[in-house]
Structure 1
Amino acid sequence: MTWWQAASPQLLGVVVLLLPGLLVGAALRLRGTALLGAAPLLTVAVLAGAAVAASLGGLRFGPLAAAAGTAAAAVASGLAGLVVTAATRRGPGSEPGGGRGTAAAQRAEERTAAAALAGTAGAAVLAHLSVQRGLGRPDVVSQTFDATFHLNAVRWVLDTGDASPWSVARLTAPQGGGFYPSGWHAVTALVASLGPSPVVAANVVVWVVAGVVWPLGCALLVRAVVGARPLLVASGAVLSQAFVALPWLVDRWGVLWPQALGTTLAAAVLGLAALAAGAGPAGVADRVRAALAAVAGGGGCALVHPGALLLLLPLLALLLLVSALPQALLPWRAAPAQRAVAALAILGAAAAAAGLAVLWPRTASVRAADWPATRSVPQALWESVSLSPAGSGGSAVAAVLVAAGLLVAARRTGLRWLVAAHVLLVALDVLAAAVDAPVSQQLTGFWYNDRFRLAAAVPLTGVPLAVLGARALAVAAARAVRRPVAGRLAAGALAAAVLAAAVPQVRGNGDQLGLTNARAAESPPLSLVDEAEQRFLEDLRRWVPPGDVVAGTPWDGSSSAYALSGVPVLYPHFRGGQPEDWAFLADHLQDAGVDPAVCPALERRDVRWVLDAGELWDPPLLAPAGYTAFRAFQGRPGFEPVAAGGGVTLYRITACR
């Protein structure tokens, strides 16, 4: 399949991730850049919420459930918008029209929104070039550990009609009781339900997240930081492509698709929170609407990946406590005692959130993970500030712009929270990459003590800082020029700096994505499912009738058969909380012709077929473990070869007739 052939799925991906959020945001009476930037965030919150509601109500999740959820959320948002308007129309600090502002302000906001769209369009083109370079084709299977689970989970949602977190968890824990954040799977399954395969849908979402969701979130965050300045907001959208760590590095490592989506959505939450905190001249009503959207979006982030919400908590605390508290909570005139009470309330809420994060049982297993340090502290610090984590090829121009932006923000009281937040994210990145002491585990354990996840957070503050730095350097370059052309020169210098940071990075971003995708799929030692194997597995339904289950070791790519063909597999992932039969068959299935205990276990699980895809996948740091039964079925009693192709052989189990 070519990217031109995947034009319809790509359009579907954009519509799915934007339309519900635009409708809900418009009902809430968000406007301009806030509406555009919040649209993907609200979409994910609506779809993830609809998945949970449909599951609780015994309904099937799909286009109808998504439409019903969008309609319900739009009605609720419309009512909330009316209440906010009525409550603030005559309140202190309100503006004519319930916070709508003057006609001039509205025109400025419209121009800024148009600039955000233009910048996002440019970013989408750059992202598409990176995706083409990294994936090669839109139907390539990601050659990574987690991709098997995520792709099979999308197929599971399509088959069961249940996209709730507890249903997705049952893919690898059939006995139930588990919880796995399923926001990404709900979005991707909705795209797949409209035509594309799970693999194509997942790759389309990779592009939409990188080229639409992330730039729009950056545009909103920059709007909150610098105000309604069209050129700067457009620059923020384009500069989203200058940072290899997000989403490109996490789309290569893992593969961490939910983490990438959750972290990119965090930019919109942070931008909405900054607007609610009093950034810009908006009235009270607009601030309350932004706050409501931020709260809803935060819930959506949690259902995509809780790590994104846990990342937002300290950043929001810094936003409120370092710079914005005096104007955020009480934008009208207030007595010192009122401000003190408000400050204590915020501190108490932050402390309560931190306590819940530490004590919540579900974070215990996450915090127990401990990736060993791979860098010295100076090396990790240099990689972080140079925007080249884990040796990835970062943009030197973008690093200079961020450094200049730090100097600018440090001199402005209202932007010092941005400096503090950036320093915090860099510090967490360095701790995860270079420090094995208990303090590192305690502070970074919420993100698996994983350098890649924390490095991906640095661009959240890096993008607005880069915009500030680009503007400062452009203005400085124009100062020596005569006044009539200085403004034009500054604008040209700004555009040149932005393009110099973003355009050359297309190659590096695509190369990172290609390390575990297109190039890996062409290299047998790195390949989990190469193209020839994929074509055979996609055609598996020709031989396997409905109701039958296929066994095969995940380490040779056999588990991908479920996502590729819809044929159920016994082992949908490398690991899982599986019942006794699963473990027994993993070690004894090949003895079905001689061990009388094997056939009853096979019958209980409806297993009547076996796949042998040959060479085992053995990436760095991961070695094949277990599944000792799957070692060459050729010639063994009780197994009949039925079909072969691409190095894969399908056997019928005849021992149990």
Structure 2
Amino acid sequence: MPTPDSIWIYASTIGVYLIVLLLPGGFLGWAAGLRGWALFGMAPLFTYLAAGLAGPWLAVVGLPFNPGTAAAVVLLLAAAALGLRRLAQARGWAPGEPDRPPVPWSRRAHLAVGACVLLATVLSVIVVLSAAGGASAIFQRWDTVYHANGIRYIAETGDGSLFGMSTINWYPDGSYYPNGYHLVGSLVYTLSGAAVPTVLNAVTVPVAGLFALSMVAMVRQFGGRAVLAGSAAVVAGAATSGAYESVSSGLLPFALGIVLTPLAALALDRFLRRPAPDTGMVLALAGVGLLVAHTSALVGAILFAFPLVVQRWWRREGKPLADLARVAPVGLGAALLAAPHLLGAVSFGSGSFPYNPWASDVPLLEAVSQLVLFRQFLTPALIWLSACLLVGVLMIRTLHRLRWIGFSALLLSGIFVLVASYGGLPWVITFSRPWWNDRYRLMALAAIPLCLLAAHGLAEAQRLLAKWAAGTSLARQRTSAGAPANALGPASAVLLIVTMAVVTNGFYSTANARVVGFAYQNWPESRYTDIPVTRDEVAAMLRMGELARPGEMVLNGRTDGTAWLYAITGVRPVAGHYDANVVPPDAAYLAAHFREYQQDPKVRAAVRRLNIRHVLLGSGSVLPDLPPEPGLRDLEGLPFLKQVYRNSDAVIYALRQPG
């Protein structure tokens, strides 16, 4: 359901996000010595890195996080990076010229690859907007309310700590969560003036475009052909299991981590090929950037890139002990930078928040078919991508320095099958904890090398097509007549992309919109008869924002969507998340006994401690099997409550005698 923002505000918010996404990280990457596609690819990761470091460290020294202090941290990091690089050059530890990829591309190749990245971004915009059903639609899935509340909390309080935004639900102490996603989102919210749901949508819109950009930058680093890079961008914009399924599950920071993961291989390869302070610095910053985006992103990136190291050792390009000795100081530096995150993660792991495994038992052959068909649910098989994958696997020898992608695909696919088919085994539950034993998350991780192999298959099809065309009698006649022979390559690439667009019905954009629509409960087969946040519930929340006094908390239902109250109005609800794990004692007691307000002094004491003056109840539920709490049922007509607002989906009561 929409909040009151126009399409023009939405468009400007996307523009603000793109500026925030590219400029700070691009400036930091330039200072660190990155150039070309490596600079463009790493810019978004470095933006999240800078914000993800700024928030917690500013909180440590008692300063607020806002656009001004965030900019100051970017300047500080850039100055440190530039200073270290200049020092390394002066001492002869690093070359004076920036690194250049081993295989040159023509200007036309660069433009063509850029067009493919733009195509993937346009596909992403079409998919998300079609799925949402409107520019300011509200995400309806589980964790999205937490992310929405977190963005507004940081923007309004300036508290960029790793525990602060969780106090909207787990008060008074909060809970650890890597908040790079929310810190950047808070900057967009502050600078754009848009509503939080609009900001969430704007940040989500280019997700597949970021995936495409990361893929291109990685392929460029390893000396891949421009056709391979362009194909990788197109596949990234079309594959359901890449960025789109994570968004459909509401895993927004996780999806961010997935689309940035290929950059880990780029940074690692630059360092291993030329170990020096400047390349080590970039590797450390990349690792920390993935950590602040999402804790599991760093673990996934290590697994994704580890076969690169194995290939290096196999081909005797490096020695294990020497490489480990070089990487160790980089890891130490990264750990010092990310100290608040590491300490927070340790505290969370040893805390009381429960780890509830999915324990999936998908049949083995079904799990394998989900991998090769690039989808798990809601969509038909992506047959043409599967065909490209088959060609890519058969032609893997022509990947040259990227052949390690095949081993990465085997490793990550094996982990997915293990968790999907044997997820209930105790050791599998323990091993898969970074991904919450969730096969959907591991499917997205496995999709990264599978998309690259499918892109390789598409690129090899182009090469064979161009080779065949060059051998035809017509091509020989045109060459003898003076026509350029090298025109066959670009022509065959364009022909293949156009053919893929036709046979995939617009690069599977309709199918992918159907998948992402799950996040908005906007899909035909929804089992939800009542979505959590309806238009009338938004109206009631806006009215609640007008009625609430400063410092007041509003008693609300945990399952009916009113947890969005803070994100939409800035008024704090008692239940700030659907999650009922480790609920604050007062919130838990009121949910069970509020109806007994007149008879139970404990209820009145809890109301007094939380400064509750109003009750807001919606309709529906985030999950069909989650009923309203017993203490909040059948409140109509109770003598201590006065109805002050009602519409078809929501009601607001005022306490006649606040506790």
Q: TM-score, normalised by structure 2?
A: 0.87
Task: Answer yes or no: is the 8 Å Cα contact 1:33–1:112 preserved in 2.
Answer: no
Q: What CA deviation, in whole Å up to 9, does each residue of 1:155-186 have, x standing for no partner? A: 22122211221212333322427311111111
Q: Which shows bigger deviation, 580-589 or 499-508?
A: 499-508
Which stretch shifts more, 497-506 or 312-321?
497-506
Query: What is the aligned partner in structure 1 of residue 634 from structure 2?
Result: 632
Q: CA RMSD in A?
A: 3.2
| 8 A contact 1:552–1:570 mirrored in 2 | yes
SS of the counterpart of 1:37? helix
Q: What amino acid sits opposite 2:587 in the alignment? A: W
Offset of 1:640 from its aligned partner? 0.4
Q: How far apart are 1:466 and its partner, in Å?
A: 2.2
Contact 1:32–1:112 (Cα < 8 Å) also in 2: no
Could you tell me how far apart the structure 2 residues matched to 1:156 and 1:99 are?
A: 41
Is 2:253 the counterpart of 1:258? yes
- What is the rounded CA distance, in whole Å, between the counterparts of 1:458 and 1:420 in structure 2? 11
Matched residue type, 2:307 = L
Note the residue ranges of structure 2 that are not aligned, 5 or more in a row.
Answer: 335-341, 476-484
* 2:643 corresponds to 1:644: no
Q: Which of 491, 495, 515 is 2:518 aligned to?
A: 515
**What are structure 1's unaligned runs of at least 5 residues?**
279-283, 330-338
The equivalent position to 2:617 in structure 1, one of 601, 612, 616, is 612
Q: 2:450 aligned to 453, 462, 477, which one?
A: 462
Q: Which amino acid aligns with 1:342?
A: A
Number of residues paired by the alignment?
626
Change (3 A) 1:539 1:223: farther
**Displacement of 1:462:** 2.3
CA contact (8 A) 2:598 2:640 kept: yes
Alpha-carbon spacing, 1:528–1:26, altered in 2? closer, same or farther (3 Å): same
Q: Does 1:98 align with 2:97?
A: yes
CA distance change for structure 1 residues 179 and 496 in 2, over 3 Å: closer, same or farther?
same
Q: Write the mapping of 1:492-511 to structure 2, written as runs, cut at 5 A.
A: 492-496=494-498, 499=501, 503-511=506-514
Aligned counterparts of 1:80 and 1:111: Cα–Cα separation in 2: 35
Decide whether the 8 Å contact of 2:247 with 2:255 is kept in 1. Answer: yes
- Measured in 2, the distance between the counterparts of 1:439 and 1:348 equals 28
Aligned to 2:127: 130
2:268 to 266, 269, 273: 273
- Take 2:316 and 2:120, find their aligned partners in 1: how far apart are those partners? 34
2:657 maps to what in 1? 655
Q: 2:464 aligns with which of 468, 476, 488?
A: 476
Cα distance in 2 for partners of 1:109, 1:268 equals 23
Secondary structure (helix, strand or coil) at the match of 2:599 reads: coil
Distance 1:636 1:414 in 2: 73
1:501 to partner: Cα distance: 5.6
> Which of 446, 470, 493 is the aligned partner of 1:491?
493
Provide Cα deviations, 1:217-252, integer angstroms capped at 9, x if missing partner: 11112213443x434323322221121122211111
Distance 1:589 1:77, change over 3 A: same
Change in Cα spacing, 1:34 to 1:100, as seen in structure 2 (3 Å) is closer
Q: Counterpart of 1:431?
A: 418
- Between the aligned partners of 2:544 and 2:174, the Cα distance in structure 1 is 32
Distance in 2, Cα, partners of 1:318 & 1:545: 58
- C-alpha distance in 2, partners of 1:111/1:134? 34
Match of 1:332 in 2: none
Any idea what the Cα deviations from partners look like across 1:115-150, whole Å, max 9, x if unmatched? 443222211111111011111112211111112222
1:404 to 391, 394, 398: 391
The answer to whether the Cα contact below 8 Å between 2:616 and 2:652 also exists between their aligned partners in 1 is yes
Q: Residues 560 and 618 of structure 2 are in contact (CA less than 8 Å); yes or no, is this contact kept in structure 1?
A: yes
Shift of 1:489: 4.9
Q: 1:208 — aligned with what?
A: 206
Is contact 1:477-1:493 (8 Å) kept? Answer: no
Counterpart CA distance in 1 for 2:354 and 2:653 is 42
Q: Which amino acid aligns with 1:160?
A: T
Distance 1:581 1:518, change over 3 A: closer
Matches within 5 A, 1:332-347: 339=319, 341-342=321-322, 345=325
Using the alignment, how far apart are the partners of 2:109 and 2:86 within structure 1? 25
Say if 2:131 and 2:513, in contact at 8 Å, map to a contact too.
yes
Q: Comparing 13-22 with 293-302, which one deviates more in the overlay?
A: 293-302
User: Which piece of structure 1 moves more, 440-449 or 305-314?
Assistant: 440-449
1:232 aligned residue: 228
What's 1:34 paired with? 38
Give the match's secondary structure for 1:551: strand
Instruction: Give the one of 305, 314, 331 matched to 2:294.
Output: 305
Whether the aligned pair in 2 keeps the contact of 1:367 and 1:448 (CA below 8 Å) is no
CA distance in 2 between counterparts of 1:340 and 1:570 reads 54
TM-score, structure 1 length as denominator? 0.87
Q: What is the DSSP-based 3-state SS (H/G/I as helix, E as strand, rest coil) of the residue aligned with 2:170?
A: coil
Q: Which amino acid aligns with 1:237?
A: A
Aligned residue among 595, 602, 615 for 1:597: 602
Q: CA deviation at 1:88?
A: 4.6
378-387 or 641-650, which moves further after superposition?
641-650
Partner of 2:448, secondary structure, is: helix
Q: Is the 8 A contact 1:9 1:196 kept in 2?
A: yes
Query: 2:451 is aligned with what amino acid?
Result: V
2:270 corresponds to 1:294: no
CA contact (8 A) 2:531 2:620 kept: no
C-alpha distance in structure 1 between counterparts of 2:523 and 2:607, whole Å: 34
Which residue pairs with 1:386 in the alignment? 373
2:362 maps to amino acid: R
For 1:32 and 1:362, how far apart are their aligned partners in 2? 39
Task: Tell me the amino acid that sits aligned with residue 260 of structure 1.
Answer: A
Letter in 1 for 2:127: S
- Per the TM alignment, residue 324 of structure 1 is displaced from its structure 2 partner at its CA by 6.0
2:308 aligned to which of 313, 316, 319: 319
C-alpha distance in 2, partners of 1:238/1:648? 44
1:650 Cα deviation from its structure 2 partner: 0.7
Residue 567 of structure 1 is matched in structure 2 by 571
How big is the shift at 1:24?
A: 0.5
Q: Show the 5 A alignment for 1:129-148.
A: 129-148=126-145
Amino acid at match of 1:478: A
CA-to-partner distance for each residue in 1:543-600, whole Å, 9 max, x for gaps? 2222211101121112111111111111101225343222211111122233333222
Identity of aligned residues (%): 25
